Amino acid sequence: MTKIAIIQRPPVLLDRGATLAKAVQWVAEAAQAGASLVVLPECFVPGYPSWIWRLAAGRDGSVMGQLHARLLANAVDLGAGDLAELCEAARAHEVTIVCGINERDRQQGGGTLYNTVVTIGANGELLNRHRKLMPTNPERMVHGQGDASGLRVIDTPVGRIGALICWENYMPLARYALYAQGVEIYIAPTYDSGEGWLGTMRHIAREGRCWVIGSGTALHANDIAQDFPNREALFPDPNEWINDGDSVVVSPTGQVAAGPMHRETGILYAQIDVASVAPARRTLDVVGHYARADVFELHVRRTPAVPVQYVDGS
């Protein structure tokens, strides 16, 4: 059995340093409680750009520009070591961490943000980086399209881990790519919530015969700092739950094992047994005995998308 922890607490919005300090503190708390896997939600560092669902690009361009500039300045550049604190926390506590980030890549210009999920091993090494393939609706005003170079399932001490972000989980071929790699712990960091999303988590568990970890975002109006641009217009109700959270753990048979954690902040713990995946696939293995390779075939191009290549003389 493996104890997992889903951290459903808000970031310090638009502040990378303060958010990472909180994350390190909470990883220590989860590890002390016996967790071997710690999961944080979509775009956790430095926070999901919730304002995009409340602003219009043409009408509200000025405030959108201010917010985007702050988000970009506080985004994570993996090449610059911006996640060093979190990697060290994973190593110090010997836990695997899956965390959503807003990523910028200065080696590729640095002007585009990606909605990214990273997997950090218990030795503190970055095991995988997956950029969201298709930003959802107004997210396209903030995030660029990812590629499939990180569409991978990774061996870890807790099991074979794969992750898709939010509405990527509605992409059947992306799910199938993870199933085909033998995913045992399927992680879905998200900004979505509610009965429809919970139904999706249960469906994926039944379809893939794997453990599904839905890592939700809990955000209350009180979590928005007073100096947040256009705060009163964007979040006028001080009692509003901007996002309900609804983190959940679902077994390979589709049964809810923990949660959903609704409209509350904290850490959702669950005991999972990856050994239960194999017998669940005896009756249904969608990439094995329940597939028809003679009829259907999927090609996944995992070559990184590189906008420019330099060839210098000796």
Active site members: 42, 132, 166
How many residues does this entry show for the chain? 314
Measure the CA–CA gap between 123 and 28, rounded to whole angstroms. 15
Query: Residue 173, Cα to own-chain centre: how many angstroms?
Result: 18
Q: Return the percent helix, strand and coil in the chain, to nearest 5.
A: 30, 25, 45
Rg, Å, the chain Cα set: 19
Sequence-distant (6+) residues with CB within 8 A of 192 are: 166, 167, 216
How many other β-carbons are positioned within 10 Å of the β-carbon of residue 106? 11
Measure the CA–CA gap between 37 and 96, rounded to whole angstroms. 5
Contact 72, 142 (CB under 8 A): no
> Beta partners for 266?
8
Q: How far is CA 232 from CA 15, 223, 226, in A?
A: 20, 13, 9
Nearest alpha carbon to residue 248 among 205, 288, 281: 205
